[in-house]
């Protein structure tokens, strides 16, 4: 038996085994199962068809309304909100987080659910961001109801890949530029397909916790199953302040762990990037997209809505105005981020610059707000840029980090942020 990777060790613990091998099918007991409201009507119908009246571990369910942050006239979301709220009350689920609390990604980290060594089932791959604290997300889509019903589910132990980060980010470069570069390199050949990607190297320590979550949140575009980083003193201090006395254990890979691929990135060699539609891996250096007229700009989504993103945007927006033909939306990722941004005066900077600050949630990323008209162009920190994602099928969405988005909103066209920072 070869050495065990971090993912193998966490899965083995959840399966009650000493070790597991890649490809093994094992039944695991999760520490938590996280759901959001968009998929809930289908989940509830399936529960009713099966005849489930009571789940065995309501304390392990984390239910969050994060996509439809408001119940607008003409939508059905108000019905979903009430249905989910009432079901949680019926089941005795205390971990219900309604509109305004923010995305599940941040709820799981800020409220102490994501702790080192924990295994959390979810219905989306971008929850891998909790790996910044050493927690392992396993995305299982509609099968989250199996975990709710049985307090267990099976999975196939994934292979692991290793990405080593060295150096330090340069002027005008953000964590979003890092993951866009990785996606550009790895998505076309599928080298990370179905892997749990472990990040290591001295470069990780130079990234803030917000940065680390940004890298992991977009990793699923490469075809990776999930991702994780070994928590350092910064991450552990964050966990201790939020764990509420609940148990956790730092998990480290064995020296002889087997990885299907190993890669190294020098953070200092990465430039600001722009992902050209319609592919999420179509990143190019900002200079190749510079000059492109934009109608809308958006800073938010699980790939760009944390406090560090708010600070980056404020660096450029302070004392400047958004171009008259551009609408800039800014969405803090959670209530905690919103409050911190207010205390630091960031919301005032955004308002004075002419930006619209939205309630914590997914908002513009999935087109719930900020819908694009025919032939309009958006530059955004969101996750996706496929045709029709945010409105008209003739609209186009370019993706970038918060510094590039803010600089471009001011200029009215895609712009290298280093020009303004200099």
Bridge partner list, 160:
196
Domain boundary among 245, 265, 285: 265
Q: Which domain holds residue 362?
A: 272-416
DSSP string, 346-374: HHHHHHHHTPEEPPSSSGGGGTSSS-B-T
Beta-carbon-side half-sphere exposure of residue 383 (alpha carbons within 13 Å): 22
Give the CATH number for residue 339: 3.30.499.10
pLDDT of residue 1: 64
CA distance 387 to 391: 9
Asked whether residue 291 falls in the same domain as residue 226, the answer is no
Give the residue among 113, 66, 49, 19 at the shortest CA–CA distance from 301: 66
Q: Does 421 fall in a domain?
A: no
Domain boundary among 202, 233, 265: 265
Show the tokens assigned to 154. Answer: 């099976």
Ramachandran bin of 354, using left for φ above 0, alpha for ψ from -120 to 50, beta for the remaining angles: left
Show the tokens assigned to 34. Answer: 């996280």
Domain boundary among 219, 237, 265: 265
CA distance 122 to 303: 17
Give the residue among 123, 70, 79, 61 at the shortest CA–CA distance from 98: 70
Q: Give per-residue pLDDT as tens, 67-113.
A: 887 766 667 888 899 999 999 999 999 999 999 999 999 999 999 99
Q: Give per-residue pLDDT as tens, 313-337.
A: 999 999 999 999 999 999 999 999 9
More confident residue, 70 or 116: 116
Asked whether residue 228 falls in the same domain as residue 297, the answer is no
Q: What mean pLDDT is predicted for residues 210-234?
A: 97
pLDDT of residue 125: 82
For the whole model, what pTM was predicted? Answer: 0.95
* Residues in contact with 390: Cβ distance below 8 Å, sequence separation at least 6, in sequence order: 364, 366, 367, 370, 371, 372, 378, 380, 382, 397
What is the pLDDT confidence band of residue 227, given thresholds at 50, 70 and 90? Answer: very high
């Amino acid at each position: 038996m070869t050495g065990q990777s971090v993912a193998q060790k966490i899965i083995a613990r959840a399966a009650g085994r000493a070790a597991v091998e890649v490809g093994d099918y094992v039944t695991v007991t999760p520490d938590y199962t996280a759901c959001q409201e968009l998929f809930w009507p289908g989940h509830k119908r399936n529960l009713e068809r099966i005849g489930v009246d009571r789940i065995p571990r309501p304390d392990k369910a984390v239910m969050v309304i994060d996509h439809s942050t408001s119940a607008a006239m003409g939508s059905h979301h108000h019905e979903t909100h009430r249905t989910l709220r009432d079901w949680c009350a019926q089941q005795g689920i205390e971990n219900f987080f309604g509109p305004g609390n923010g995305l599940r990604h941040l709820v799981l980290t800020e409220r102490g659910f994501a702790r080192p060594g924990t295994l959390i089932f979810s219905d989306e791959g971008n929850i891998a961001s909790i790996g910044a604290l050493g927690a392992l997300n396993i995305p299982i889509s509609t099968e989250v109801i199996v975990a709710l019903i049985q307090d267990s589910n099976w999975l196939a132990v994934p292979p692991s890949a290793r990405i080593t980060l060295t150096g330090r980010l340069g002027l005008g470069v953000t964590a979003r530029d890092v993951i866009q570069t990785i996606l550009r390199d790895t998505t076309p050949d599928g080298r990370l397909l179905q892997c749990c990607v472990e990040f290591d190297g001295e470069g990780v320590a130079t990234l803030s916790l917000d940065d680390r979550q940004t890298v992991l949140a977009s990793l699923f575009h490469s075809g990776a199953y999930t991702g994780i980083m070994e928590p350092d003193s910064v991450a552990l201090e964050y966990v201790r302040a939020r764990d509420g006395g609940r148990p956790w254990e730092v998990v480290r890979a064995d020296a002889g762990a087997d990885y299907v691929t190993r890669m190294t990135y020098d953070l200092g060699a990465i430039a600001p990037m722009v992902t050209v539609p319609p592919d999420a891996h179509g990143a190019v250096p900002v200079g190749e997209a510079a000059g492109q007229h934009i109608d809308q700009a958006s800073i938010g989504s699980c790939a760009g809505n944390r406090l560090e993103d708010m600070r980056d945007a404020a660096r450029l927006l302070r004392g400047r105005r958004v171009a008259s033909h551009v609408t800039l939306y800014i969405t803090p990722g959670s209530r905690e981020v919103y409050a911190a941004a207010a205390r630091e005066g960031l919301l005032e900077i955004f308002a004075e610059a002419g930006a619209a600050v939205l309630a914590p949630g997914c908002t513009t990323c999935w087109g719930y707000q900020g819908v694009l008209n025919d032939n309009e162009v958006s530059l955004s920190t969101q996750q996706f840029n496929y045709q029709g994602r945010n409105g008209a099928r003739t609209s186009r969405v370019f993706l970038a980090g918060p510094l590039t988005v803010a600089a471009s909103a001011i200029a009215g066209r895609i712009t290298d942020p280093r020009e303004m920072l200099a």
